[in-house]
Amino acid sequence: MTESADLITFLRTMRAVRRFSPEPIPDDVLHDVLQAARWTGSSKNTQPWHLVVVRDRGALQTLSRCGPFAGHLAGAAAAVALVMEDGRRQLDEGRLAQNLMLAAWAHGIGSCIGSLYPEDNSRRARGVLGVPDGKYLHTAISLGYPADDAALRLSANPGNLSSVPIGRMPLTDLVSWERFGAA
C-alpha cells in the first residue's frame, strides 16, 4: 500500500468513541496530541484558542452534565476544552477539534465532541475550568482508549443502539459536478 493510501485508510477508520477503558493516557502521548493541535491552521494564523486539559474525575463528571450530548466526558481518561477568543470562530474551532481528534486517533485514543450548552451550562463549565469572562467555551473533547471493539461502533449506552447509521452515504448521493444536482 502506498503512503497516501495508508493515510486515507487511517482517516476513514476514525470513529466517535463514547465508552472508554480506565487506562490512563501517558503524558508524552497527551503532549504529542497537544503539539499536533497547536499546529492547526487558523484564519490569518490568529490561533484564537486556549486548550484546557482536564483529568480530574470530579471536573469531568461536572462537565458531562453541561450539555445534552456531553455525558461521555464522565468516563474519559481526559478531556480537552477548546476555549476560543470569541463565539465567531466556529470554523477555527472545528479545525482545531478535528486535528486534535485525528492526532489522538494516531495513538489509538478515541475521542468525541461534547457540546457545552445552553448558556447556563457553558457558564457553569467556564466556572469549573476557571475560564475568564469574555472567552467562549462550547466544546470539550473526551479522550481515552476505547473500552472494547464495540466502543468503535455503538453509542455510549450499549443497551441503546444509536439510530445514526454506521458508514457513509455513497459519493453519488452527496457530490455534484459543476452544478448542484448534476451527476
> What pLDDT digit, counting tens, does each position of 138-149 carry?
999 999 999 998
Cell numbers 469574555 label which residue? Answer: 134
In a domain, 1, yes or no: no
Domain for residue 165, yes or no? no
Question: 178 lies in a domain?
Answer: no
Range of the domain at 79: 13-148
65/59 Cα distance (integer angstroms): 10
The answer to the question of residue 8 being in a domain is: no
Query: What is the grid cell recorded at 98?
Result: 478535528
| For range 28-46, the mean pLDDT | 97
**Which pLDDT value is given to residue 153?**
74
How many domains in the chain? 1
**What is the rounded distance in angstroms from the CA atom of residue 111 to the CA atom of residue 34?**
14
Task: Decide if 125 is inside a domain.
Answer: yes
pTM, full prediction? 0.89
Q: What is the DSSP letter of 132?
A: P
Q: How far apart are CA 27 and CA 33, in angstroms?
A: 10
41: alpha, beta or left? (left if phi > 0; alpha if psi -120 to 50): beta
Residue found under cell 486556549: 50
Residue 19 has pLDDT above 70, yes or no: yes
Among the listed residues 15, 122, 23, 13, the one whose alpha carbon sits nearest the alpha carbon of residue 70: 122
Residue 183 lies in a domain: no
User: What average pLDDT does this structure show over 39-62?
Assistant: 97
Query: Does 117 fall in a domain?
Result: yes
CATH of the domain at 28: 3.40.109.10
Give a yes or no: residue 169 inside a domain. Answer: no
